[in-house]
Structure 1
Amino acid sequence: MAAPAMESVAATALRSVMIRVQQAAERSGRKADQIRVVAVSKTKPVSLIRQVYDAGHRYFGENYVQEFVEKAPQLPDDIEWHFIGRLQSNKVKMLLSSVPNLAMVQGVDDEKIANHLDRGVANIRRKPLRVMVQVNTSGEESKSGVEPSGCVELVKHVKLGCPNLEFSGLMTIGMLDYTSTPQNFKTLSDCRLEVCKALGIKEEQCELSMGMSGDFEQAIEMGSTNVRIGSTIFGPREYPKKQAN
């Protein structure tokens, strides 16, 4: 009976998170339904993901392609899947072909991966894929992401040079401890202002994906429209062995 107890905890944790999201949204002058909560399920079993799904959640995210393509087909096809973080170009074809309900890639950090995704989408003739451009707001060498100064040019490339991709916004991953400072969030917000001005688009057409388990409330208060929450919903991550992206 251990597994059902664990899964029940996850469903309860999800409800708690959604209440906190609603409260943070209200503090930012918005409604909860203006914030997308992506439940990041990496290293977690299908049974636990299914419990969160059965609690009514539909947005899930994964970080490792191999794990992703094994788990996704075992789950309902009305899930809106997000791939989060750095995607290797040699894994693009497998990801796109194995997860037809992939809704978004949060982590386009250079023109090369944008081009690979664009060609991959065209080759399988699926609808345009929504993508976010990843920005390295902390300046850490260990973090992927385009430098803030290069953000506008990369967004231009996605919008003008990749007809099979749909630019959805900007994302950032926090500091090494998976939390961010207000300055990281402000940097991403500033990048959005620059992008919107340069491309002549409205701010609501450029999402901000920032905030994880340790800092999602602050991120929402500073304008985030998409938060990525893993351990607060699913419990601590388990890494039985080193996984390749």
Structure 2
Amino acid sequence: MAAAAPVVEGVAVKALQSVLHRVRQAAERSGRSGNDVRVVAVGKTKPISLIRQLYDAGHRCFGENYVQEFIDKAPQLPEDIQWHFIGHLQSNKAKSLLAAVPNLAMVEGVDNEKIANHLDRAVANIKRKPLKVLVQVNTSGETSKSGVDPSGCVELVKHVRMGCPNLEFSGLMTIGMADYSSTPENFKTLSNCKIEVCKAIGMTLDQCQLSMGMSGDFEQAIELGSTSVRIGSTIFGPREYPKKQ
């Protein structure tokens, strides 16, 4: 495994402060306050010491993408962290994730009924409070992306709301295309899904969160209505993946 790059004291904290400033500016451009947008700092492949720096600076909302890495990290960090699991979760890993991370605040995102059912049973088995979930929508139509097709979004949300009493439907999430020039349409598609979902289940628009926007496009996402952005490399620096032997 390649050695991780040394952590430079304070660099991530300054990067986070810069991101929060940009978030506030984008929120104001959309007619909202910066407090209306949650910043999930995604520490995928990054050391615990770096996450701890941000925690010590006052940040509390963090995300991870890989179950095993998440299970290894979370118990070594403070219990008041609001953890988010981001992306496709294999149904056979739902139980182990919930057992290892009791302070898991949200799963972004549920993309089919099977994983919804597994999460629902796992929450019931460990007798924790209902788990907040976002339904993941594949707004770009890319086969490499997880997520329910926009046309099936309402039905999946209804299943979570009606068939999974231990889950709390909190909103929708998407991952835009790699070509950032095309993401406005992805974001607008998710906003349209939100309108359809809220109408179908009797939820007010302000109750339904939209998680869209990452390091390359979060300002645009906020301007188009995002209430939660997932920022990794802009805060933590480039990902550090093990080199194949």
- Runs of 4 or more, structure 1, over 4 Å off, are 177-180
Secondary structure of 1:81's partner?
strand
Query: SS at the partner of 1:166?
Result: strand
- Residue 205 of structure 1 deviates from its aligned partner by 1.2
CA contact (8 A) 1:180 1:211 kept: no
The Cα shift of 1:7 comes to: 3.5
Determine whether 1:190 maps to 2:209: no
Deviation at 1:11, TM superposition (A): 0.4
Contact 1:179 1:212 in 2 (8 A): no
Shift in alpha-carbon separation, 1:178–1:60, aligned structure 2, 3 A: farther
1:35-46 correspondence runs (5 A): 35-46=37-48
Measure, in 2, the Cα distance between the counterparts of 1:130 and 1:220: 21
Residue 139 of structure 1: which of 132, 138, 141 is its match?
141
Q: Per-residue displacement from partner, 1:158-198 (whole Å, max 9, x unpaired)?
A: 00100000000000012146785100000000000000111
1:60-79 → structure 2 map (5 Å cutoff): 60-79=62-81
Q: Counterpart in 2 of 1:29?
A: 31
Distance 1:38 1:162 in 2: 25
Equivalent runs, 1:185-224 vs 2, <5 Å: 185-224=187-226
1:18 paired to 2:20: yes
Q: What number of residue pairs does the alignment pair up? A: 240
Q: Which of 221, 231, 234 matches 2:233?
A: 231
The equivalent of 1:92 in structure 2 is 94
Counterpart secondary structure, 1:181 = helix
Q: In the TM superposition, what is the alpha-carbon distance from 1:204 to its structure 2 partner?
A: 1.1
Distance 1:33 1:133, change over 3 A: same
- Asked whether the equivalents of residues 105 and 131 of structure 1 are also in contact (C-alpha less than 8 Å), the reply is yes
Give the gaps of 5 or more residues in structure 1. Answer: none
The aligned amino acid for 2:72 is E
Note closer, same or farther for the CA distance 1:150–1:241 as it changes in structure 2 (3 Å cut): farther
Counterpart residue type for residue 84 of structure 1: I
Asked whether 1:81 is paired with 2:83, we answer: yes
1:113-192 maps to which residues of 2 (within 5 A)?
A: 113-176=115-178, 181-192=183-194
Identity %: 78
- Alignment check: 8 A CA contact 1:179 1:211 kept: no
SS of the residue aligned with 1:143? coil
Q: Distance in 1 between matches of 2:203 and 2:185?
A: 24
Where does the alignment leave 5 or more consecutive residues of structure 2 unmatched?
A: none
CA RMSD after TM alignment: 1.4
Residue identity in the other structure for 2:234: T
Cα 1:41–1:179, aligned 2, differ >3 Å: closer, same or farther? farther
For the 8 Å contact 1:41–1:62, the answer to whether it is kept is: yes
Query: CA contact under 8 A between 1:86 and 1:107: conserved in structure 2?
Result: yes
Q: Give the TM-score normalised by the residue count of structure 1.
A: 0.95
Larger displacement relative to structure 2 (172-181 or 125-134): 172-181
**Distance of 1:61 and 1:135 partners within structure 2:** 19
Cα distance in 2 for partners of 1:212, 1:179 equals 14
Using the TM superposition, name which of 59-68 and 233-242 deviates more.
233-242
Shift in Å at residue 241 of structure 1? 5.1
CA separation of 1:54 and 1:180: change in aligned 2, threshold 3 A: farther
SS of residue in 1 equivalent to 2:10: helix
Task: Select between 216-225 and 178-187 the one with higher mean Cα deviation.
Answer: 178-187
Q: 2:103 — aligned with what? A: 101
Q: Which residue, out of 49, 52, 64, partners 1:50?
A: 52
SS of equivalent to 1:60: strand
Residues 174 and 11 (structure 1), Cα distance of their counterparts in 2 relative to 1, 3 Å cut: same
Change (3 A) 1:43 1:177: farther
